[in-house]
Amino acid sequence: MAALTKEETEALIQEVLEIYPEQARKDRAKHLAINDQSLEKSNKCITSNRKSQPGVMTIRGCAYAGSKGVVWGPIKDMIHISHGPVGCGQYSRAGRRNYYVGTTGVNTFGTMNFTSDFQEKDIVFGGDKKLAKIMNEIEALFPLNKGISIQSECPIGLIGDDIEAVAKKANKEINKPVVPVRCEGFRGVSQSLGHHIANDAIRDWVLENRDGDESFATTPYDVAVIGDYNIGGDAWASRTLLEEMGLRVVAQWSGDGTIAEMEKTPKVKLNLIHCYRSMNYIARHMEEKYKIPWIEYNFFGPTKIAESLRKIAALFDETIQAGAEKVIAKYQAEYDAVIAKYKPRLQGKRVMLYVGGLRPRHVIGAYEDLGMEVVGTGYEFGHNDDYDRTIKEMGNATLIYDDVTGYEFEEFVKRVQPDLIGSGIKEKYIFQKMGIPFRQMHSWDYSGPYHGYDGFAIFARDMDMTLNNPCWKQVKAPWKTAESSDVAVAASV
């Protein structure tokens, strides 16, 4: 199917909105837009970071998901207590595939679930005593932990427990950082506020721990990788490239990261931000307080990687700039081979995306390297500044949808007929049953890494594997296909 024109896209949006009651229609209309590259600012065409409409199927998470699941969870040598009822922690445990090195349960705790398991009496009488008690238990059972964070679930805010006081007291007793995070799920409209709260907690409780301590030997090439959660090993694939060009990666935030790395981050020369949405807050804070500049980069697909490596290198001296060129040249044969192999199989295919964080705009370059086109994209919890950065990446007259509802997404897909959809697990089976190839792009469909040159090879393979899978030809019932009905008619005569 040919690309939709601007008018057709406009008509499609109007048609999809038709089903809503008037109020909801008015509200949802603000979240759906047609991309126009001539716009500088997204707020002219799209509204974002607003409360979802009651009654629609939204795909958003909560503030606890943003803090425990995204920002704090991957810090491997700390124990993150899901403070509140057991479910929030248990059902999200290890779901994000933030890989790490270490012995789980001994010196790393990434895939484990620690919870205060609130019961009725804790709601009635408060859970502070229980919290203090479990921190002592943790200290006895897991002495190699490097700190504890308290991730609040909804009831903590509702009953007004003073977790800060408990944290301060525990900090004195166990002599390790104890960080209370006020990320109750009801705060904000999506997980995005959870990221912000988590960033603020790092700012207030961790970042200044080593201020005035100059014992850490620095080099002029120290950088920190911020906002890379090592999904399927992403941060490792990124880190190798940075190290090969001559930089020293001091900290990984927060995939495969440690609290010691975070405390050392104020000593670096440059912060590299991959996921802008979840960690720009801390980067901005470090810029103000420690005068550390930050830049955004994109390690999806060879075009963007080369662009980013050069952009990073431009902020350093000639040795690093030469190093960047060397890295690009070194991997050229590798990624040219990947493109030569997969581009003919994927050329001209059209993709629709609906994910969170940085991916709705960052992966566009990787698809384009494979000759594919992204015809629709949207953020679960993006803000205006995300859409500002998306407009230039997307083609004209393509669809942009913010906090898309289940219904809208299905209708868009029915009309746009993309060859591939990249979204989350909740959307996966709907679209597979509609007979459309689908990749779960939140955690790379249990594959990965997708970052870096090594990741690009896996990305290309996965897309090919999904798109050109013979199963898609079998989705239609055999008696409903044209040839078989011809045969049946011929046989019956």
Partner 1 sequence: MPSVMLKKNAEGKLVFYVPKKDLEEVAESIEFDNPEKWGGEVLLSDGSKYYFEPMNEQPDFPVTLRAKRLD
- The stretch among 39-47, 89-97, 129-137, 219-227 that binds partner 1 (CB under 8 A) is 39-47
Distance of CA 421 to the CA centre of its chain: 17
> Considering beta carbons, is residue 236 or 276 the nearer one to partner 1?
276
Write the DSSP string, 137-150: HHHHH-TT---EEE
- Token pair of 107 as six digits: 């010196």
> Considering beta carbons, is residue 325 or 388 the nearer one to partner 1?
388
Amino acid letter for position 184: E
Residues 190-229 that bind partner 1 (CB under 8 A): 196
Q: Report in angstroms how near the CB of residue 400 gets to partner 1 at its nearest.
A: 16
Cβ proximity of 372 and 39 under 8 Å = no
Residues 372-391 that bind partner 1 (CB under 8 A): 383-385, 388
Running DSSP on this structure, what letter comes out for residue 271? Answer: E
Amino acid letter for position 381: F
Q: Residue 256: left (phi > 0), alpha (psi -120 to 50), or beta?
A: left
Write the DSSP string, 177-197: -EEEE---TTSSSSHHHHHHH
Amino acid letter for position 208: E
Cβ proximity of 428 and 440 under 8 Å = yes
Running DSSP on this structure, what letter comes out for residue 72? Answer: I
Say which residues have a Cβ less than 8 Å from residue 393's Cβ, sequence separation at least 6.
361, 364, 365
- Catalytic: which of 28, 80, 96, 239? 96
Q: Report in angstroms how near the CB of residue 210 gets to partner 1 at its nearest.
A: 21
367-393 b/e (C-beta count within 10 Å ≥ 16 → b): bbbbebbbbbbbbbbbbebbbbbbbeb
CA pair distance 191, 114, nearest whole angstrom: 21
Residues 283-312 that bind partner 1 (CB under 8 A): 284, 287-288, 291
Active site residue 63: no
Cβ proximity of 16 and 28 under 8 Å = no
- The stretch among 38-46, 51-59, 75-83, 170-178 that binds partner 1 (CB under 8 A) is 38-46
Say which residues have a Cβ less than 8 Å from residue 14's Cβ, sequence separation at least 6.
none
Q: Report in angstroms how near the CB of residue 49 gets to partner 1 at its nearest.
A: 7
Q: Report in angstroms how near the CB of residue 42 gets to partner 1 at its nearest.
A: 10
> Considering beta carbons, is residue 252 or 390 the nearer one to partner 1?
390
> Considering beta carbons, is residue 317 or 336 the nearer one to partner 1?
317
Output the CA–CA distances (angstroms, integers) from residue 305 to 57, 139, 151, 255, in the order listed.
36, 43, 35, 20
> Considering beta carbons, is residue 36 or 385 the nearer one to partner 1?
385
**Binds partner 1 (CB under 8 A): choice among 221, 281, 354, 412:** 281
Q: Report in angstroms how near the CB of residue 438 gets to partner 1 at its nearest.
A: 31
CB atoms within 10 A of CB 230: 29
Residue 49 binds partner 1 (CB under 8 A): yes
- Token pair of 261 as six digits: 């790395």
Active site residue 62: yes
Q: Report in angstroms how near the CB of residue 450 gets to partner 1 at its nearest.
A: 27
Write the DSSP string, 232-261: TTHHHHHHHHHHHTT-EEEEEEETT--HHH
> Considering beta carbons, is residue 15 or 287 the nearer one to partner 1?
287
CA pair distance 55, 58, nearest whole angstrom: 9
> Considering beta carbons, is residue 25 or 284 the nearer one to partner 1?
284
Q: Report in angstroms how near the CB of residue 58 gets to partner 1 at its nearest.
A: 19
- The stretch among 37-45, 124-132, 167-175, 358-366 that binds partner 1 (CB under 8 A) is 37-45
Active site residue 182: no
> Considering beta carbons, is residue 20 or 381 the nearer one to partner 1?
381
Q: Report in angstroms how near the CB of residue 51 gets to partner 1 at its nearest.
A: 15
- Catalytic: which of 33, 62, 88, 366? 62
Q: Report in angstroms how near the CB of residue 48 gets to partner 1 at its nearest.
A: 8
- Catalytic: which of 28, 31, 80, 195? 195
- Catalytic: which of 28, 31, 33, 65? 65
With contacts defined by CB under 8 A, how many residues of the chain interact with partner 1? 14
Residues that bind partner 1 (CB under 8 A): 40-41, 43, 49, 196, 281, 284, 287-288, 291, 383-385, 388
Q: Which residue numbers are catalytic?
A: 62, 65, 96, 195
